[in-house]
Amino acid sequence: MASYLSVISAVIRPEIKEKVSIGLLLIGDDKLYLGFSKNKLEVVSQLLPTDVFRGLRFNVKNFQQVAVENEGNRTLFTNHLTVVENLNATIFSESYLGYLSNYKNNIISVSAPNSISIAPTQEVFERLFKKLVDEQGVYIAKKIAQRSFSKIRESAILKERFNYDVEVTQQLFPNLIVPVKIDLVGENEIPTFVKLVDLERRKNYIANDVTSFNFVRDAIPDSKRFIVSREPLKAIFPQQHQIWNNLRSTKWFEYIDITEVERLEEYAQIHQVHKLVEPDED
């Protein structure tokens, strides 16, 4: 199977054909790579009217959805990077991309497919993406979240004073209705709970995290509770961004940005937090 790529652009001023590259599609060797730039989309959101950008965002999601509607196996599908392997059938054929490049759309533009001699891999895709779309690279929400939360999980101070990944049950707190998975659990004069919440996921996943944490608040009102997260990109996650604002303003728990890990460390040291469950009881 021949390898070919197309650049996906947002049309900023249709009257003069001004556009900004926002994504890249690479197909070959029975694989498909589709990625979009969070940075370019953020810029475009400032240049287009709100309703027009909403239409652009719909087109981006449609590209992602169509990419995985095939008989192959989806291996990765995050907010801005889609990878499909064992590709048996996809609408994104060379002829279809040629059709899209000629289709007149006032919101999005697809370049004519260009053949390349290099076998496509994720490394090749990311290199081409930096060259043709965004030098900062493709946005992979899961990797960013995991890397950010590692600051919490790798802290020597927190490791010493908290249990990690504890399922809090009625055996520990009799008033708890259902078991709740908590990322960090400790105790000083009162129990201390820390929940890591990735705000760049689907809203129902976020809601499940926050709701389960509220179970802990209701069952153990005399406790200290922290939610640790990071601000989601408003242009890409407008509803999640509103949730982020709500979390920062609520009095049900204390919000800490992932860049402020030292605040949690200081609290643990000042209040002499220690592990709720001793190692020999794990």
Chain centre distance of CA 245: 17
- The 3-state DSSP class for residue 66 equals helix
pTM: 0.53
28 and 91 housed in the same domain = yes
Considering its fold, how many domains does the chain have in total? Answer: 2
Domain of residue 268 covers: 142-281
| Burial class of residue 154 in the structure, from the number of CB atoms within 10 Å of its CB (0-12 exposed, 13-18 middle, 19+ buried) | exposed
147 and 277 housed in the same domain = yes
104 and 151 housed in the same domain = no
260 and 223 housed in the same domain = yes
87 and 149 housed in the same domain = no
Q: What is the C-alpha separation between 137 and 186, in angstroms, rounded? A: 39
Dihedral in degrees, nearest 10, Cα atoms 268, 273, 275, 276: -120
The pLDDT value recorded for residue 194 is 96
107 and 157 housed in the same domain = no
Last residue of a domain, one of 102, 117, 139: 139
161 and 52 housed in the same domain = no
CB 232 within 8 Å of CB 241: yes
CB 38 within 8 Å of CB 233: yes
The pLDDT value recorded for residue 56 is 86
Last residue of a domain, one of 79, 104, 139: 139
The pLDDT value recorded for residue 180 is 93
252 and 270 housed in the same domain = yes
33 and 100 housed in the same domain = yes
133 and 209 housed in the same domain = no
CATH of the domain at 205: 3.40.1350
Last residue of a domain, one of 82, 112, 139: 139
The pLDDT value recorded for residue 100 is 79
The alpha helices in 138-251, defined as continuous H runs, are 141-153, 156-161, 203-219, 238-249
Q: For every one of its 282 residues, what pLDDT tens digit does the chain have, with 9 covering 90 and above? A: 578 899 999 998 888 888 999 989 888 877 788 888 887 888 888 888 888 888 888 888 777 776 655 544 444 434 456 766 655 656 667 777 777 788 766 788 889 888 888 888 888 888 899 999 988 776 554 444 554 677 788 889 999 999 999 999 999 999 998 999 999 999 988 999 999 998 877 888 899 999 999 999 999 999 999 999 988 877 667 889 899 999 999 989 999 988 888 899 999 999 999 999 876 544
Closest CA to 167 of 94, 276, 80, 240: 276
174 and 238 housed in the same domain = yes
CB 139 within 8 Å of CB 81: yes
150 and 55 housed in the same domain = no
The pLDDT value recorded for residue 272 is 94
Closest CA to 26 of 162, 96, 171, 128: 128
The pLDDT value recorded for residue 137 is 73
